[in-house]
Structure 1
Amino acid sequence: MCRTGQSSEPSGDEGVEATDAAFTALLEDSAEELYEQAPCGYLSTLMDGTIAKINSTLLDWLGLDRAEVVGRMRFTDLLTMGGKLYHETHFAPALQMQGGVSGIALDIRTAAGRMPVLVTSKVKTSTDGEQPVLIRTTVFDARDRRAYERELLRGRKAAEEARRQAEADRERLQEALAVLQQNLLPAVLPAIPGLEAGCYYHTASPDLLGGDFYDLFPLDCGRWAFFLGDVCGKGPQAAAVTSLTRYTLRAAALHDADPVTVLTTLNTVLHERYRSGDTRYCTAVFGTLELDPAGGHVDVHLASGGHPSTLVQRADGSAGYLPTPGGMLIGVLPRVQFSAARTRLLPGDTLLLYTDGLTEARTGPGREIYGEDALHAFTTGQPPAGPQSLITALSGLLASFGDGLDDDTALLALGIPAPAGATTSVRTT
């Protein structure tokens, strides 16, 4: 006999609640298992680097027990010597400034030796978002990435060499500070047989201390080095950076005159010196000249870091820019790329370097920016009469800008004089 109003089956609400509870328990179990057995390593550290939590995957890679690690080791204890160096000089500063870094190549120490990994870290802040409380880090296995492994090795060697070179440059800088003269520009350019050079400098700073600079100096028999650049800012602070920059470029060139290497050394020195506090940076072109008296030409090899393109005026009246795309500002980032270019100067050709005070001058009633196109047109309209003639024409152009020229401007022109009696032509556009 059945009893009405009663049933052995659970009600609809009771069934849903039971299902939800089981699903919640499954989710909690799955989340913990996912953390522990994930295909990548996870760890959380206090702000001083002490490891507070680590998953089983990373412990297996390290060959360590959880009790050996949690509360007893710091994140840097897991790294190789090279990894610690990179962490100290690049990883940790970037994490502090940006609150997170992604895809950083490091090496960790394992029972079998070193293991290449890619590391992503993010700082977690307090609920009010004011105070950093811990760092969450994900570690990806990079052992199977052979191409990346080779790049990692090259990058580490380059970083170690850059650090050693930066230390050597700083030592040479300290020795030179006692005898460093107050002038930031050479009093006169050196005379080079078979080559003509011209320069001009306009300062827009009221205290006559600008941030633009240039130089021309010998390397060895038949080779000369030149550079021109622009330091961020004006006044005494910019002048201090200019002194450091000019000395570093000269010292680096005597060690290894490859233009990209020289600018890389300068970037390392400026970044190390100014990475904390008031950031300072510059743009620059550095190059070498190799004279061939027998062939009657000069081979030019240069590199640019964030600087306006170099212009070449040819003996036939034409002119064109040397393409150096992608060159980055010097001193802002620890690792940068620079663009290199080559050309050959024949008799009557002139190489022109300039700072952006020229191309960013304001002209006309509308105060338009002068620009590289206008500079190209102006240079094409000048007779190819040599570096000093071009500098004279450009200094007159700068004077015509009046108060539209509100930034420091440096000009440096290098070339081979045209043979006596040679006719010159002006190309019209």
Structure 2
Amino acid sequence: MMCRNDDQVQGGGDREHESSSGDPGSGDRGSGDRGADPAFSALLEDSAEDLYEHAPCGYLSTLMDGTIAKINTTLLEWLGFRRAELVGRRRFSDLLTVGGRIYHETHLAPMLAMHGRVDGLALELRCTDGTRLPVLVTSVVKAGSDGTAQLIRTTIFDARERRAYEQELLRARRAADYERDRVQKLAATLQRTLLPPTLPAVPGVEVAAYYHPASADEVGGDFYDLFPLAGGSWGFFLGDVSGKGAPAAAVTSLTRYTLRAAAVYDPDPLSVLGNLNTVLHQGHRGAGARFCTVIYGALLPESSGAALTVAAGGHPPALLIRADGTLTAIDTPGGMLVGALADAVFTGANVHLDPGDTLLLYTDGLTEARIHDRERFGEERLREFLRAFGPTTAPALTAAVTELLTGFGDGVDDDVALLALSIPSAPHQ
């Protein structure tokens, strides 16, 4: 309480007035000077009852059975009730929504009984006008002098602004999820147009393929295809376009259809890559760099296997697993990136696939996958894996490499395409 007489209060006010008029800068002297103002002092001397009744939060005291024993004016005004309608007549659970009452009985009441306290529970109270008031509730059990629980004191905070903020965040998240789903569906649809839906059946040859996109949100630049040519031969290719997204998709589409058209015009692999290089390099003008790595091959099934001619431009060599388990890389040294230079040079190789042989083409996303945190899988580990795998077939080998990729988890951060061809083993006599 204030312990000074009127003269002291008046004198203090005069001195403050004189100081203010004599020193223009003396108005910012802090709360020490303001304490001499009677009106300000009166604000500091609010009664405990007034602080309880008009606190910026709701206060509620209930008996152990939930009957309301005391409630402050703030909470009454929020809900629209009169004190006489609640005190001694209603329970705290009566103020809750249906869902809130269920939660009160199954969670809040048992937690109070076990721990004597609950903090920050989100509930909704029913107002007299039919609206719902989102609140955060903290309750504490108070015991009497004999240690027996006597009542529950509850503090209630208005959570309308928080709820509105959470709902706005939820709307924004739903919108973002919808947009992400739309982009992913668009990317998946576009990706499917850049890959053959199924591989055709090649007489006397087993074929299998696999594609792993590094991102569901972007179209990858890896591609493969297998298609018939004149004279019973078949063309196939696998490659990797630089970049991601729509620009890479455009180059991938151009590359696939150019390879098919070039193969029909002249199936020789070196000629096919030469024509593709011309088309991609001419597209540089005004469209940015367009280049890719690729292996193109021509396959002619025979009674004793298949004759194979391949050419590569800047791509990892195809790996051949012979029927006896030995591993051979079909090297095409000196093959340049396709589309990077107008006079790019490509090299080819001829090989015969015998019964039991399997050929694997892959993109560098496989060998650049990370294992042991940051260490790359690498070409040598891939070859060790294939040597240990031994003689196989195209479907079995593709399934094994797919399982290998799955084991890398998040370490696969680039697209991976696989294409395998195998000649069935000769039946035992």
Q: CA deviation at 1:417?
A: 1.1
Q: CA deviation at 1:418?
A: 1.3
Q: Give the secondary-structure state (helix, strand or coil) at the position aligned to 1:315.
A: coil
- Aligned residue for 2:321? 313
1:395 equivalent to 2:402? Answer yes
Q: Which amino acid aligns with 2:202?
A: I
Q: Please give the residue correspondences for 1:279-298 in structure 2 after superposition, counting only pairs within 5 Å.
A: 279-293=289-303, 296-298=304-306
> Over residues 306-345 of structure 1, what are the superposed CA-to-partner deviations in whole Å (9 max), with x where a residue is unaligned?
0001100111011121111111111111110012111110
Q: CA deviation at 1:234?
A: 1.1
- Aligned residue for 1:405? 412
Distance 2:287 2:237 in 1: 27
- Aligned residue for 1:270? 280
- Aligned residue for 2:200? 190
- Aligned residue for 1:63? none
Q: Give the secondary-structure state (helix, strand or coil) at the position aligned to 1:358.
A: coil
Q: Which amino acid aligns with 2:239?
A: G
> Over residues 166-214 of structure 1, what are the superposed CA-to-partner deviations in whole Å (9 max), with x where a residue is unaligned?
xxxxxxxxxxxxxx99610001100012110010000113325110000
Q: 1:236 to 1:199 in 2, by over 3 A?
A: same
Structure 2 alignment gaps of length 5 or more: 1-189
- Aligned residue for 1:379? 386
1:252 equivalent to 2:262? Answer yes
Q: Which amino acid aligns with 1:268?
A: T
> Over residues 75-124 of structure 1, what are the superposed CA-to-partner deviations in whole Å (9 max), with x where a residue is unaligned?
xxxxxxxxxxxxxxxxxxxxxxxxxxxxxxxxxxxxxxxxxxxxxxxxxx
2:325·2:391 contact (CA, 8 Å) conserved in 1? yes
Q: Please give the residue correspondences for 1:416-427 in structure 2 after superposition, counting only pairs within 5 Å.
A: 416-420=423-427
Q: Give the secondary-structure state (helix, strand or coil) at the position aligned to 2:366.
A: helix
1:303·1:340 contact (CA, 8 Å) conserved in 2? yes
Distance 1:415 1:299 in 2: 12
Distance 2:428 2:376 in 1: 39
- Aligned residue for 2:164? none
Distance 1:407 1:318 in 2: 29
- Aligned residue for 1:342? 350
Distance 1:182 1:323 in 2: 31
- Aligned residue for 2:143? none
- Aligned residue for 1:221? 231
1:260·1:338 contact (CA, 8 Å) conserved in 2? yes
2:367·2:377 contact (CA, 8 Å) conserved in 1? yes
Q: Which amino acid aligns with 1:291?
A: P
Distance 1:181 1:411 in 2: 15
Q: Give the secondary-structure state (helix, strand or coil) at the position aligned to 2:365.
A: helix
Q: Please give the residue correspondences for 1:98-137 in structure 2 after superposition, counting only pairs within 5 Å.
A: none
2:191·2:220 contact (CA, 8 Å) conserved in 1? no
Q: CA deviation at 1:245?
A: 0.2
Q: Please give the residue correspondences for 1:39-188 in structure 2 after superposition, counting only pairs within 5 Å.
A: 183-188=193-198
Structure 1 alignment gaps of length 5 or more: 1-179, 423-429
Q: Give the secondary-structure state (helix, strand or coil) at the position aligned to 1:389.
A: helix
> Over residues 327-385 of structure 1, what are the superposed CA-to-partner deviations in whole Å (9 max), with x where a residue is unaligned?
111111111001211111001101110000001111114x2111111111101111312
Figure out how many residues of one structure are paired with residues of the other and give that number.
240
Q: Give the secondary-structure state (helix, strand or coil) at the position aligned to 2:293.
A: strand
1:320·1:376 contact (CA, 8 Å) conserved in 2? no
1:205·1:234 contact (CA, 8 Å) conserved in 2? no
1:329 equivalent to 2:329? Answer no
Distance 1:334 1:412 in 2: 29
1:415 equivalent to 2:425? Answer no
Q: Aligned match of 1:368 in 349, 358, 375?
A: 375
2:269·2:348 contact (CA, 8 Å) conserved in 1? yes
Q: Which amino acid aligns with 1:255?
A: Y
Distance 1:244 1:204 in 2: 21
> Over residues 377-413 of structure 1, what are the superposed CA-to-partner deviations in whole Å (9 max), with x where a residue is unaligned?
1011113121110000000011111111100000000
Distance 1:241 1:335 in 2: 20
Q: Aligned residues: percent identity?
A: 55
Q: Aligned match of 2:221 in 189, 211, 224?
A: 211
- Aligned residue for 1:240? 250
> Over residues 203-252 of structure 1, what are the superposed CA-to-partner deviations in whole Å (9 max), with x where a residue is unaligned?
11332511000000010232111000000011111111100000000000
Distance 1:339 1:404 in 2: 33
Distance 1:266 1:320 in 2: 27
Q: Aligned match of 1:356 in 360, 364, 369?
A: 364
Q: Which amino acid aligns with 1:327?
A: G
Q: CA deviation at 1:253?
A: 0.2
Distance 2:311 2:351 in 1: 12
Q: Give the secondary-structure state (helix, strand or coil) at the position aligned to 2:193.
A: coil
Q: Give the secondary-structure state (helix, strand or coil) at the position aligned to 1:324.
A: coil
Q: Give the secondary-structure state (helix, strand or coil) at the position aligned to 1:348.
A: coil
Distance 1:308 1:227 in 2: 13
Distance 1:317 1:181 in 2: 35
Q: CA deviation at 1:421?
A: 5.4
TM-score after normalising by structure 1: 0.54
Q: Give the secondary-structure state (helix, strand or coil) at the position aligned to 1:228.
A: strand
Distance 2:218 2:360 in 1: 24
